[in-house]
Structure 1
Amino acid sequence: MAQKLAGKIALVTGGTSGLGLATAKRFIDEGAKVVITGRRAAALDAAVKGLGAGATGVRGDVSVPADLDRLYETIRETHGRLDVLFANAGGGAFVPLEEVTEAHFDKYFGINVRGTLFTVQKALPLMCAGGSIVLNGSMVSVKGVPGFSVYAATKAALRSFVRTWAVELKGRNVRVNVVSPGTVVTPGYKNELGMTDEQITGLVAQAAAVTPLGRAGTPDEIGKAVVFLASDDSSFVTGAELFVDGGAAQI
C-alpha cells in the first residue's frame, strides 16, 4: 500500500508527547520526514530517539519569535521546504472565571493564539503548493466546560483563523484545517492541568457517559485524523473543522 505522505517534509510543534508525538509517529509511518519541537531538551531528545531516523528535533517555544525564526531557518537549511505543518503546541489550565488573572490570560493566549498565528505566518515562505496546514483545536470551543473559559476561547480563535486563512491562502494552493479532539488522555493532563490519577479516571468516566461512542479517545486516533487532513485524501477539504470526539460535541 502506498504511503500517504511519501517524500513529504512535515513539522509538528509540541511533538514531544501526547497528540503531537502520536501524530509525528503516524507521519513517519506514512513516509514523511518529520521535524518536531519542544521546550524541554531532555524530552525532545527522547522523543526524537523514539521516533527514529525519520525525525529531527529543534528545541524552542512557539510563543518566542526568535525560537520560531531559528526553527524555520533550520528547516530551510536542512530540507529547503515544508509540505505539512501540524500546529499542535498549546496548553491550558482549569481556572474559574472569578480567579482568572491577567497572567493566566496572557500565558495561554500567548501560546495558543499568538504562538499559532506566528507559527503559521513564518512557515508560509517555506510552504509548497499543495501543502497542508492543520491546527490543533478542541471540542471545548463549542462546549461549555466550567473553569476552562480562557482555554476554550483560545481554541475558538483557532477555528476563526482557519476560516480566514483558507480564503487568504487559496491562491497558493495551500489548504488549512483544524482538528478538534474530544477527551483524550495525554501526559498534559498531569503536567499542564495538574490532575491526579483519580481525577483523570473520573474525567474519563464522565466523558464516556456523555459520548455516543461511550469512551475517551486515544492519541493515535487523533494522529490518524491529522494524517487524513495532511494528505491528498483530503485534497478537496479546506477551511473545515474535523471533530474527533466520539460524537461528544455533536449531540
Structure 2
Amino acid sequence: MGKYEGKRALVTGGSEGIGLSIARLLAAEGAQVMITGRKEAALEKARNEGLLAVRSDATSQADRDALAGKAEEAFGRLDAVFLNSGVSSQAPFDAVTEDMYDTVFTANTKGPYFTLQRLLPLLAEGSGVVLTTSIANELGLPDHSVYSASKAALRSMARSWARELQPRGVRVNAVSPGPIDTGILYKSLPAEVVDAMREEFAALIPMRRVGIPEEVARAAAFLAFDATFTTGAELTVDGGGTQL
C-alpha cells in the first residue's frame, strides 16, 4: 500500500515541471490525482501516464467554476490542493507596462486566490493546501519586481488563509523553490546557453548545484500530508541559497 493510498489531490499547473513532479509522486504512492494545465499536448501526455488531466486556466472564472465541479464529480472531497499554476516574468522596472503587471498578478495571485475560494467547500477536515511561491519573494532580484511582488503576495496569503481556515481543520503552507532544472529552458534557448546559466546558478548556491523538480515535490507532499503541526509556513527548497 502506498504512503498516500486513498488520498485525493488536485494540482493546478500540473501538466509539466514542478507540478507534474508533484502529481507523479502522489500517484506513485497511491493517491488519486487530478492535474490542470492549458497545453493540450502536455495534458494528453499526462493522461498517458494515468493521471486525470483537465484543461483549465486559473485566470478564468468559468474555468475555475468548471474545475470545482469536475473535482467534486471525480473525488467528492479533496485531501490536498497544490496551487502551483503561475507565470514567470522578467523586465526592467522602466520597461514594465500595465498589461504586463496585470498579466502576472492575475496569474500568480488572483488565480490562486479565487481557485482556492471555489474549491474550499470540497476540502476535507485535516486537508492541506500548498502554494508554490519562490525565493524571489525574499530577494531583490533585478528585472523581477512584478514577479517577486506577486509571489510575496502569495506568501502573505498563505499566512492569512492558514489563520482563517484553521477552524475548518485545513492547514495552508507554501513551498519556495530556488533554481530548479525543470528542462523548460532547453525548449526555448540553445543548450550551451542553458548549460552556462546552470553553472552560474550553481556557483551561487552553497550546495553547488541546481535542484530538480522531484526535490520540490517531496517538500510539497510533506507539507500537504505529513507536516500535521505546521501551518502558515514556507519551506524553502534552494540548496541554502537564501539561508546561508
Specify the TM-score bucket, using the shorter chain as the normaliser. over 0.9
- The yes-or-no answer on 1:203 pairing with 2:197 is yes
What CA RMSD, in Å, does the superposition of the two structures yield over aligned residues?
Answer: 1.4
Q: How many residue pairs end up in the alignment?
A: 244
Partner of 2:138: 142
SS in structure 2 at match of 1:212: coil
Partner of 1:218: 212
Partner of 2:110: 114
Partner of 2:22: 23
- The yes-or-no answer on 1:155 pairing with 2:151 is yes
Which moved further from structure 2: 201-210 or 14-23? 201-210
1:94-133 aligned at under 5 Å gives the runs 94-133=90-129
SS in structure 1 at match of 2:242: helix
Q: State whether residues 17 and 187 of structure 1, in contact with CA within 8 Å, keep that contact through their aligned partners in structure 2.
A: no
The normalised TM-score by structure 2 is 0.96
- Structure 1 gaps of 5+ residues are none
TM superposition shift of 1:42:
1.9
Partner of 2:235: 242
The normalised TM-score by structure 1 is 0.93
TM superposition shift of 1:201:
2.1
TM superposition shift of 1:202:
2.6
Distance (whole Å) between structure 2 residues aligned to residue 195 and residue 81 of structure 1: 41
1:47-66 aligned at under 5 Å gives the runs 47-50=46-49, 52=50, 55-66=51-62
- Structure 2 gaps of 5+ residues are none
Among all aligned residue pairs of Structure 1 and Structure 2, give the percentage whose two residues are the same amino acid. Answer: 45
TM superposition shift of 1:200:
2.4
Map Cα deviations across residues 162-181 of structure 1 (whole Å, 9 max, x no partner).
11111001100100000000
SS in structure 2 at match of 1:125: helix
